């Protein structure tokens, strides 16, 4: 099992099961287990809300008890926002999924428990888990919707297993401008602005030119950007000459 199993314990609404399935598949997770669904199984409302993720529901394991659902797992996590009278390690979702990744890579099976909508997991369910996952929510309004909690946990799984960059720039048919191209742009503007009398008074001209060069070097310009600025300046000169 190269991915954790997400176990929905006694879910009350088919819509939330379906939304959870969709959230799971969004992040490459397809091992759903459902414990004692209130409205039986299969559930038409779950299928309707799955919106293309029906295969997660089709392959779902349905059990009567939480113990059955996690019987094959070596490490079990329980998601809960409430204080519990149980001594267990508590992880953030990011830390939990990082640990889950490492354990799965080492050959272990991992399961994550999600409680019913009304009150979350009961202590008897949590007692079967090795650790708790707690989302740092607003303490005055800590409860998450079932599908929201599944989506958040799935997102963290995807993030820690794919090495997604925190930020990146996708080049749209161009490359970054090199120093020579940026210098040529500076030359063009300096020449045309000089002809227009921009560098005045003369005593301030060297500092003004230096500031302009610094402006170009500080900007993350692409080759397309540079060509656009050249074109703008050429068109402004043509317009002035026509006048």
| Cα-based distances in Å from 198 to 143, 195, 217, 219, 243 | 61, 8, 20, 21, 19
Phi, psi of 79 (to 5 degrees): -90, 130
The domain ranges of the chain are 5-162, 179-242
Please report the pLDDT score of residue 42 as a whole number. 83
Identify the CA nearest to 17 among candidates 36, 45, 55, 40: 45
**How confident is the prediction along the chain (243 residues), in pLDDT tens digits per residue?**
699 999 999 998 989 999 999 999 999 999 999 999 998 888 888 988 888 889 999 999 999 999 999 999 999 999 997 766 788 999 999 999 999 999 999 999 999 999 987 778 999 999 999 999 999 888 888 888 999 999 999 999 999 999 877 787 888 889 999 999 999 999 999 999 999 999 999 999 999 999 999 999 999 999 999 999 999 999 988 887 776
Looking at the domain that runs over 5-162, which CATH code has it been given? Answer: 3.40.1280.10
Structural tokens at position 20: 């959870």
Please report the pLDDT score of residue 109 as a whole number. 97
CA atoms within a 13 Å half-sphere pointing along the CA-CB vector of 231 = 6
pTM of the entire predicted model:
0.76
């Amino acid at each position: 099992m190269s991915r954790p199993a997400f176990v929905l314990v006694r879910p009350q609404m088919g819509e939330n099961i379906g939304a959870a399935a969709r959230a799971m598949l969004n992040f490459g997770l397809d091992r759903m287990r459902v414990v004692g669904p209130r409205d039986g199984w299969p559930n038409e409302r779950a299928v309707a809300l799955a919106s293309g993720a029906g295969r997660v529901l089709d392959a779902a394991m349905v059990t009567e008890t939480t113990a059955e659902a996690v019987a094959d797992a070596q490490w079990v996590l329980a998601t809960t926002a409430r204080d519990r009278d149980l001594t267990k390690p508590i992880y953030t979702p990011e830390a939990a999924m990082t640990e889950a990744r490492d354990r799965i890579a080492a050959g272990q099976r991992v399961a994550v428990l999600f409680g019913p909508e009304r009150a979350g997991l009961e202590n008897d369910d949590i007692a079967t888990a090795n650790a708790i996952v707690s989302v740092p929510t607003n303490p005055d309004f800590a409860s998450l919707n079932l599908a929201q909690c599944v989506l958040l946990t799935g997102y963290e799984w995807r993030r820690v297993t794919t090495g997604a960059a925190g930020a990146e720039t996708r080049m749209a048919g161009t490359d970054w401008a090199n120093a020579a191209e940026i210098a040529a742009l500076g030359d063009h503007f300096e020449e045309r602005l000089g002809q227009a009398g921009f560098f005045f008074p003369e005593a301030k001209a060297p500092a003004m030119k230096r500031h302009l060069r610094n402006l170009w070097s500080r900007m993350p310009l692409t080759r397309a950007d540079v060509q656009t600025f050249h074109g703008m300046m050429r068109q402004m000169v043509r317009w002035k000459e026509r006048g």
